Chains A and B, each alone.
Chain A
Amino acid sequence: MSNKEKCLIFLDGRIIGSVEDGKSFVEEVKKNRRLGILPGEINVIYIKKLNEVHINADRGRARKPYIIVENGKSKLTPELKQKLKNNEIDFNYLLRRGIIEYLDAEEEENIFAALDEDSITENTTHLEIDPVAMFGFTFNTMIFQDFNQSGRYALSANFTKQAQGLYVTNFNKRYDTRAFLLYYPQIPLVNSIAYRSLKMEKHASGQNFIVAISTYYGFNMKDALILNRAAVDRGLGRSIFYKTYSNEERRYAGRQQDKFIIPPATSENYLGEHMYTKLGEDGIVEPEVDVKEGEVIVGKISPPRFLEEQTTFGIGAERMRDNSMTLKTGEEGVVDNVMISEVTGATKIVKIRIRGNKIPEVGDKFGSRNFQKGVVTLIVPPEEMPFTKDGIVPDMLLTPLSLPSRMTFGYILEMLTAKAAALDGKIMDGTMFSKKGKERIDECGTILEQHGFEKFGNEELYDGRTGNAYKSQIFTGIAYFNRLYHMVSTKLQVRSRGPVQILTRQPTEGKQKKGGIRFEEMGRDALVGYGASMVLKDRLLEQSDKAENIWVCKDCGDIGYYDYVKNVAVCPMCSGNNLEKLEISYAFKLLLDEIKSMHIFPRIKLKSE
């Protein structure tokens, strides 16, 4: 494109005119905007490649404030800073005076912003108000972001969501379907400016663990964690699990409705007297009662599903159906509270909150703020854990190999800083870019040395089993860990015998239905490839949908049945009695039935061996 062409001007994407020199036009607009002649909401950019000027004044642009730099000097002078501190001026004053301006994504393209005042050069056009302003609140609640791999924070945000903690302070009055509550939530020893300004310390979601980066007889390979039994017994990572069951008295046509009551023995599907022992007079379980899976917590009777058949004596007395609510499989606890209320239409509803203890056990998941997660593999008695010269036993042992490949240096720095914070008795700041790495280490080092520790956080550890000192020094510190809601007790699933599906007679699926683990297609291929035909038969027939009494007619090939009254097998197709018993998978019998429904008659021809 030649220079002689005019530069087009776009306002919110529409052409409104043209100028000879786009660049100077943009400068003019910017100058007027900073002087307050033009509104501060507009953003303007000159695109050299297209020789176009874009002016944006529409809604929905994300904009961010910058300090303006002119001639290599920040417009926010020390005098202004002092005035700000003394509350003589405010942020809006700076906006009006053209010291700070808001830029949108498009105008940001052409700026040259400096991170701090020291790095301002001649070409610098803008200055960050603070490096923290580069990111959002969620990101800034973490610490030492400038020392970690950036990608890990996207994943780390998930941990914060999954963490157990003090999620609300009125948990006593709430009836959440599922909720976890940490017994002893702690404020992290190292936190950031965003963490404090969001008041997240009021809803802490973790605990400060004393950790040592050490192996333990191979038990913390890969991302496994070792916990100290003594620490767990004192309440480390211990949490409460709340689950709310709700039920209501539903209304039906014909003035019928459900009723909360201890079901009378005459009702249909009566479970037996012993099942209703935990219910109160009103048919609802009493608070502070231990309940286990399968036990009735709400007694309820419902009207019969279909209209009663007419007897010779007219319509018989209504036989109510027992429709009681039981605790689901795999759940147990104490009834925490019961709430009875009414919804519109005056139907009675009941909400029962069950409380359970979740003590950390082998298989539970923990995660740190630096996206280092792990699963507990061993809970070691305190006397077998390594200990320091002061007799401190770590709460947790982390594997050293989790650090080099993930490059989470902030993790190590957090341990060191938190250790210094614990010794000093002060919460320390870990906001990103607020200090340089060496400054931080020196600061922590002096504190550690004041209290008689090695300045880099290394300590001599003694093996709890033998009492001998380890040959090398081991880094110990304090790290903030979240207990995540993935716990074995809610996920463990095992079965040897159990319920089957009605249609296929194959084992059910899912934990709630006491199901099995699927033996899938690729696993099947692997067994075929190995030639293990007996194992294959065991998995797919014996342990699944084996049907032992399938009678097949030798004459016509149809499937018959055994008449236990006459003690003879019968073929319904040719009414013969010449049948043979087979042992096949029930799914195959079902397939044959379905083929028959397509008007195709499959015949099984038997050959004696």
Chain B
Amino acid sequence: MNDDENKKNSYNVVPGEPVGVIAAQSLGEPSTQMMLRVFHSAGIGSIITTRGIPRVMELVDARKTPSSPSTTIRFNEAIKKDYEQVRKIWKSLEEITLMYVIKDFEENFRAGTLTFILDKEKLEYYELTPKKIFTKISKMESLEASTEGEYKFIIKYRGKGKTIYNMRVAFNRLLSSVLFGVPGIKKATIHQDEKDKSFYIITAGSNLEELMKIEGVDKWNIYCNDPFEVLEHYGIEATRNIIANELIDIIEEEGLTVNFRHIGLIVDTMSHSGKIKGVGRHGIAGEKESVFARAAYEETVKHFINACVFGEKDFLKGVAENILLGKQVNVGTGIVTIGIKNEDLKKIKPVEIEQGKKKEE
């Protein structure tokens, strides 16, 4: 064996190595150094994203609604480097609610009316007309719209139960209805890649389903940081990569490094069943085989009662339950056992070696 091969072999995981514990420590130690803060990138028009420990917790716990979803949209070869084309798409992305194009509004709960005046300049910017808005509004349930002049709208509540609560719910739904753009996209900014000078868009908020439909968007190069959204449209392998990528990004942002093997093990464990499971008691930790291991972690009484009801057996194969019993743990040096059975040992007969005989052989 030469030196290189020697070195390579020394990195191999040996039987009994507790890789899970080492992975947990390798991710846990740097996170004690990370700053507990929400990161704000400087500059106008940039998108504020959750970073640091809160983001790591979000990913590892597999929370259904991330606090700051974001999507990076890249474009087809044809329009990739055409700023005007990209800008055209960008303009159609950000969601515009009715509230955003209103100059002034007034609620009258006695009469059950909502009066608002549209902002002319904003309408022009988003290429909207009062007519378009009127057709959109008139579809709304339990509301009756009428105009007074070109820009003044009067909405009357026609629903059941003319309480202030019901009216406010209906008016709020109207004001927050999306007139224009992709629903769920709160903000979008155009960026330029420094390497190949192509343009791409980063959005706050995500809606992969709608974004993929837009013409010119490169479906195979879209990046969304919401694992569940990716899981729905691209499958579990992509989701695993997304979680791993996000974790590496956060750790490296703080100037720390963690070997990919550790992160890989964590994300593989989270996703190997085809669904994403968090590491907490509702995920991986709650699905341990051993009753004692689960009971030692959280909700002790619940696990014992369930074990009693279903007559569970504990085969004492894991680490936590063996520590509880005071047995040797089945990792590291504890994994080594004698291979010969006890009864076979008795079969071995002691050989009497005479000095002269041994020499002959």
Chain A residues within 8 Å of B, Cβ to Cβ: 524-526, 528-534, 536-537, 540-541, 545-546, 583-585, 587-588, 591, 595, 598, 600, 609
Segment at the A interface, from B45-53, B56-64, B220-228, B322-330: B322-330
Alpha-carbon separation in the docked complex, A587 to B16 (Å): 27
Instruction: Flag if B329 contacts A533 (CB, 8 Å).
Output: yes
- Look across to chain B and name the residue whose beta carbon is closest to the beta carbon of A582: B325
Give the interface of B toward A (CB within 8 A): 16-18, 21-22, 24-25, 301, 304-305, 307-308, 319, 323-335, 342
Assembled-state Cα–Cα distance A524/B325 (Å): 15
Residues on B with beta carbons closer than 8 Å to the beta carbon of A536? 323, 329
A591 to B24, CA, bound (A): 28
Query: A530 to B324, Cβ gap below 8 A?
Result: no
What B residues does A546 contact at CB under 8 A? 326
A588 touches B326 (CB 8 A): yes
B324 proximity list for chain A (CB < 8 A): 585, 587-588, 591
Contact among A528, A529, A541, A600 with B308 in the assembled complex (CB-CB below 8 Å): A600
| A591 to B22 Cα, complex, angstroms | 29
Sort A-B residue pairs by CB-CB distance and give the 8 closest, nearest first. A531-B332, A533-B334, A585-B326, A541-B326, A600-B308, A529-B21, A533-B329, A588-B325
CB distance from B258 to the nearest CB of A (A): 15
- The winner among A533, A534, A545, A585 for most chain B CB atoms within 10 A is A533
| Given the contacts A528-B331, A533-B333, A609 and B304 also touching, CB distance less than 8 Å | no
- In the complex the two chains form, what is the Cα distance from A530 to B16 in whole Å? 10
Q: List 16 A-B contacts (CB under 8 A).
A: A524-B323, A525-B24, A525-B25, A528-B21, A529-B25, A530-B332, A531-B17, A533-B331, A533-B333, A534-B328, A534-B333, A537-B326, A537-B329, A537-B334, A588-B324, A598-B304
Contact of A609 among B18, B327, B332, B342 (CB under 8 A): B342
Q: Decide: B331 and A531 in contact? CB cutoff 8 A.
A: yes
Contacts of B330 in A (CB 8 A): 533
Residue of A nearest to B301 (CB): A598
Which chain B residue shows the least CB distance to A601?
B308
The answer to whether A584 and B323 have CB atoms under 8 Å apart is: no
Q: Which residues of B contact A585 (CB under 8 A)?
A: 324-326
Q: What is the chain B residue whose CB lies nearest that of A542?
A: B326
Are the C-beta atoms of A598 and B18 separated by less than 8 Å? no
B355 to chain A, nearest CB (A): 38
In whole angstroms, what is the CA distance A591 to B327 when docked?
Answer: 15
Contact of B325 among A531, A532, A533, A584 (CB under 8 A): A584
> Chain B contacts of A587 at CB under 8 A?
324
CA distance A584 to B331 in the complex (A): 19
A87 CA to B328 CA in the complex, in Å? Answer: 87
B16 x A540 contact (CB < 8 A):
no
User: Counting chain A CB atoms within 10 Å of each CB, which of B21, B305, B319, B332 scores highest?
Assistant: B332
- Nearest CB to that of B296 among chain A residues? A591
Residues of A contacting B18 in the complex (Cβ-Cβ under 8 angstroms) = 528-529, 531
Which chain B residue shows the least CB distance to A528? B21
> CA separation between A533 and B22, bound complex, in Å?
15
Contact B305 A598 (CB under 8 A): yes
Query: In the complex, A145 Cα to B178 Cα: how many Å?
Result: 63
Contact at A528–B319, with CB atoms within 8 Å?
Answer: yes
A541–B322 alpha-carbon span in the complex (Å): 11
With known contacts A525-B25, A584-B326, A532–B332 Cβ distance under 8 A: yes
Find chain B residues with CB under 8 A from A534 CB: 328, 333-334
Closest-CB distance, B346 to chain A (whole angstroms)? 14
Within the complex, which residue of A531, A532, A540 is in contact with B323, where a contact is CB–CB below 8 Å? A540
List the A residue with the shortest CB-CB distance to B320: A528
A541 cross-chain contacts in B, Cβ below 8 A = 326
Docked CA distance A533–B328 (Å): 6
From B305, B308, B319, B333, contact of A532 by CB (8 A): B333
Find the A residue at minimum CB distance from B341. A609
Assess the B332–A584 pair: CB atoms within 8 A. Answer: no
Residues A600 and B325 in contact in the complex (CB < 8 Å), given A528-B331, A532-B332: no
CB closest residue in chain B, given A536:
B329
B-chain residues with CB within 8 Å of residue A598 when the two chains form the complex: 301, 304-305
- The answer to whether A584 and B342 have CB atoms under 8 Å apart is no
Q: Which B residue sits closest to A594, measured CB to CB?
A: B304
Q: Which residue of B lies closest to A545 (CB)?
A: B326
The complex places the Cα of A511 from the Cα of B332 at a distance, in Å, of: 35
Shortest Cβ gap from B349 to chain A (Å): 23
